[in-house]
Amino acid sequence: MKNAFCGFLTLFANFYRSSRAAVGSLVLASSLGTSQLAIPADTMGPKPCVVFIDDISSPAELKQHGIEPFDPEGLAYAFDAISAKNTACNLIYVPVRQEASRAVPVIIEVPVNREVPPSLPEKGLKLPDLQKAWLVYRQEKTAYDEREQAFETCREQARQQFIRKSLDALAAAEAEITALRRVRGGYRASDIEGAILGAIATARTLRSSSVILVLNTDLVDEPGHRRTRKTPFTEDELPPSLTRGMVLINSSYRPDASVLISKTSIPKHHAQSSKAGSDWVATLLPGIK
């Protein structure tokens, strides 16, 4: 029987947002390509959510801050670092687009291993009882090993889904940027406000108990469909009760002072690289609920 974790590997969310708000709606897509919302019972409870905002809107400008998009190795490292904590959570990957509604986020549930190995037979048993106890133990150990193998298979499936689908989403964003620059020269369009607020809306739709925001971006909001936002996010938009941590990935420290996050009381953590950012997430995750 397949591990229950395999039933909920990937979700997709379509964003609809106004100039100052974002509302996410989700459509569940299983590995078989269906779109019926059917989540296994053991995945329904609230759990933390890790949101990766990945910016490719202006490679030259981003490089000045030491910001580069997640590559396959970085995505694999992020998944492994988080899953190693064996804490139930969802991963959301959102590439920055010209307009946030065009970015369909990747949503993957990280499998959790709740199996407990069987206990060895107790000492001091008489030989007939010891033989029976060892027989029972061997049977339980065989079943346990089979469940462990099923879990590892499911975990690897989730890992591959996260990497592959995130890279597909990033490729779509890069194709959009390339096309825009071909037509408009040095044109930049980065809907940072929409990407962040849309991801928070998606986390709420998932009934997330808490959110860690990983911001691999310079936080320069220059969307193609509205005016640039020059005011800080409010607590209604980024509630500290939900968003429990913010990891900023850059080497210049300038994005850390962005006006968008200048008024928030959410704890901020700086990382010089995507791997360091993933390490921060792995450190923070077990401490939030």
pTM confidence score: 0.84
The pLDDT, as a whole number, for residue 82 is: 98
Dist. CA 279–CA 97, nearest whole Å: 26
- The radius of gyration of the chain's CA atoms, rounded to the nearest angstrom, is 22
Residue 209, helix vs strand vs coil: coil
Q: Give the tokens for residue 203.
A: 């986390």
Q: Count H helices, E strands: the chain?
A: 5, 8
- What is the distance between the alpha carbons of residues 101 and 284, in angstroms, rounded to a whole number? 29
Cβ neighbors of 263 (< 8 A, separation 6 or more) are 232, 233, 234
Cα 283-287-289 angle, rounded to 5 deg: 130
User: How many of the other CB atoms lie within 10 Å of CB of 98?
Assistant: 23
What's the number of domains the chain is made of?
Answer: 1
What phi, psi does 100 have (nearest 5°)? -60, -30
What does the alpha-carbon distance between residue 110 and residue 116 come to, in Å, rounded to a whole number? 19
Show the domain range for 24.
4-287
Q: What is the mean pLDDT of each run of 10 residues along the chain (289 residues)?
A: 45 35 34 31 75 93 94 98 96 94 91 95 94 96 96 97 97 88 75 96 96 97 90 97 97 96 97 97 92
